[in-house]
Chain A
């Protein structure tokens, strides 16, 4: 039989236990911190180049290495932030605005001309598309293109994301990237935007 524990020592044990649990929790949270991949190994870059595209250049299969890495470019805050920087550095906004479109198509209307898959977006950026979408093959490295594609995809997201890129310094023209910016337009349906493509997206 265990000896009876007095009230006083119970309090002591409780406080010590609570402190230990809090400490373990804090260390655990620090341990779970999302690692950042600053340097893409050249073999991985080369593999990222090797996705397979359907003959009509819409959709396809990402390279094996993308899954092995855990699909970083859609999910990690660092890659999304870098994608957001690339979006402004490479002048995407001059045709696509903050996603509302302009000379180029919108990302917010829930309609992806070449499908919503990462491979299609990467191919659009890398190789260009008809109607004046330039190819960025010689301007960006392939891992930058994947980062940018992940960011572009997050502008058109219609369900909220856990990860967010950095905030805007300028006033927002649409909900932030992690708050499903396309949801409003998507829920309304894009029939008015693309009447030729059917009644709803």
Chain B
């Protein structure tokens, strides 16, 4: 029992070394390069530190047999030691600089990406626009990025309001999104899986609730997903969901949100065409269930104070219909 209690802080510390959001458990090309670089730097610096400490302890403990300033021999020995240390310092620092330079250059290697995604960060969610050579095939999603595993993915990073930062510790980053300019990052997932990303530049009140998920999957399931996302929003079949669609169109929802295939074409809030297919809502704040959708629509300002979605006054029936409709938009 005691041992278990003592081990708890250690296991909590180590839990940061794995999982879906960890720079120490990299699953992407750039993150692996960065992990290797930092391991080499830490190892060499530890060796240097150890050597310095050993020499220091030796200098403190050694016996002073001889009188100071006696003999030429110790002066020559000192000269050799100092020149050796200076040479080692120059070699190590230039070596690390060169290593760092080549690693950084390797991060953005690919010239021709397989997928290009425009990322528009805003307070406090991520807009992902998948670009195609044919603009009619463009589609967008929010807070959830699907990418084919082993392929080069280029993200064009823009900001709508303040500076944000794109960071998926297991795969790539971080790189800032700066209003008025475009930063470009290319990365590749080596293994399929779900990875969590997070805004890494303080951007206001809900900065900590500005997460997103990257789903790296096989080429085939990626194509399937992209094909499904290009479709218009699912047409409601049940009475409840079609009532929800009517509520969505009649109330304030449609002024800020788009559902392709309907009249709703607002661009201020996230595109909801396939919101039912996403894992989370409100930028990783809540798991996507019908209950959490209803809770979010009923009172977004209590769940995520300061976000830009207002409380739209709805009756309980309207709320139920609306959340059923949202859930049905797979």
Contacts and interface: CB of A to CB of B under 8 A. Distances in A.
Contact of A85 (B180, B254, B299, B308): B308
Interface stretch (A15-23, A110-118, A125-133, A134-142): A134-142
Contacts, number: 41
B313 A39 contact: no
Interface in A38-59: 38-40, 42, 45-46
A82 to B, nearest CB: 8
B309 to A, nearest CB: 10
A143 B310 contact: yes
Contact of A42 (B180, B268, B313): B313
Interface string B273-311: 000000000000000000000000001011001101011
A33 interface: no
Nearest to A82: B308
A42 B299 CA distance: 10
Given A42-B311, A85-B308, A141 B256 contact: no
Interface residues of A, number: 18
Given A138-B251, A139-B252, A139-B255, A45 B311 contact: yes
A141 B311 contact: yes
A46 B313 contact: yes
B110 interface: no
A36 interface: yes
A38 B311 contact: no
Contacts of A139: 252, 254-255
Contact of B268 (A39, A89, A141, A143): A89
A169 interface: yes
A38 B313 contact: no
Contacts of B252: 138-141
Interface string B111-152: 000000000000000000000000000000000000000000
Question: For B254, B255, B256, B312, which residue has the most chain A Cβ atoms within 10 angstroms?
Answer: B255
Nearest to B307: A38
Given A141-B312, A144-B310, A169 B301 contact: no
B306 A36 contact: yes
A139 B312 CA distance: 10
A179 to B, nearest CB: 22
B299 to A, nearest CB: 7
A45 B301 contact: no
Interface of B: 179-180, 250-252, 254-256, 268, 299, 301-302, 305-306, 308, 310-313
19 contacts: A38-B306, A39-B299, A39-B301, A39-B311, A40-B301, A40-B310, A42-B311, A42-B313, A46-B313, A82-B308, A90-B255, A138-B250, A138-B255, A139-B252, A140-B255, A141-B252, A141-B310, A141-B312, A144-B310
Interface of A: 36, 38-40, 42, 45-46, 82, 85, 89-90, 138-141, 143-144, 169
Q: What 10 A-B pairs come out closest when comparing CB atoms?
A: A39-B301, A139-B255, A141-B310, A38-B305, A89-B268, A38-B306, A38-B301, A144-B310, A141-B252, A169-B179
